[in-house]
Structure 1
């Protein structure tokens, strides 16, 4: 009996590259988005440039299939990583980082299947599970360990 080839797990950088299927759906404009308040179920950590955020997720060895809630804004080049509500304070002041908490909203796909160029979920929970929120202190530690070539603060979306 021959062994079937093991499927490799896509990297964060692979997931952030919009497929031709996604791009075609964006052109048709049929996907829906909505504004979701931050600070209730999660805080959103905006990281710019996007590659910096992808690099930190890879460096921390956080698997893309873990069910973390990670959103890409391809137009602004910003990655949003969701952390526990109220925990984002440890990231305030880091270069290229902006924390969205109570009083902020984030444009999100209306469903996990909806996706747009500014609200592209590249990682999300499967099978009705709640999202795996990344530990903010671990994310901060990882960002401190990366070279700084980021703007003062992530752009506002």
Structure 2
């Protein structure tokens, strides 16, 4: 989060609203934000490609949108929560968003490309294993 972005949030008319999960996409909530960004980097998914990814800088959560009904494929990873039918996510209305709902990668197409939940889960597990104390001690 840059000083420029914070200044935009303070001065831009912005808003957000609740959007249901499970219809157009499921959301995989990853804590902390940097861990989720590292996973997207490992998957080589650039923010410029239009995969919908939201950051909640207040709560420290990154929300990665995956195809509806597939979020469970990323479940079971510590620090990961899956939001599907019956859940909602706060989405920014304007391009600037807010500290609680900011597009890290705004959707650019309709429908937008979605991250594969199975691949996201795999890379999170791999990153966790690579950063485990036992693994670091062995290297």
Question: Shorter-chain TM-score category?
Answer: 0.7 to 0.9
Distance 2:67 2:83 in 1: 11
- Residue matched to 2:82: 99
Task: Name the counterpart of 1:117.
Answer: 99
- Output the aligned Cα RMSD: 1.7
The alpha-carbon deviation at position 29 of structure 1 amounts to 6.4
What is the deviation of 1:110?
1.4
Map 1:5-154 to 2 at 5 A. 18-28=1-11, 30-111=13-94, 113-126=95-108, 128-147=109-128
Cα distance in 2 between the residues matched to 1:108 and 1:125: 11
Q: Normalising by the residue count of structure 2, what TM-score does the alignment of the two structures yield?
A: 0.86
Q: Give the match for residue 10 of structure 1.
A: none
Structure 2 residue runs of 5 or longer lacking an equivalent are: 132-139
- 2:120 match: secondary structure: helix
CA contact (8 A) 1:124 1:131 kept: no
Judge conservation of contact 1:31–1:115 (CA < 8 Å) in 2.
yes
Q: TM-score, normalization: structure 1?
A: 0.76
**Structure with more of its chain in helix, by fraction:** 2
Query: Residue 21 of structure 1: CA displacement?
Result: 3.5
Deviations 1:49-106 (A, max 9, x none): 1111011111111122111000011111110000000001111211100000000010
**Residues 103 and 22 (structure 1 numbering): CA distance in 2 closer, same or farther, change over 3 Å?**
same
Report how many aligned residue pairs link the two structures.
130
Counterpart Cα distance in 1 of 2:111 and 2:20: 17
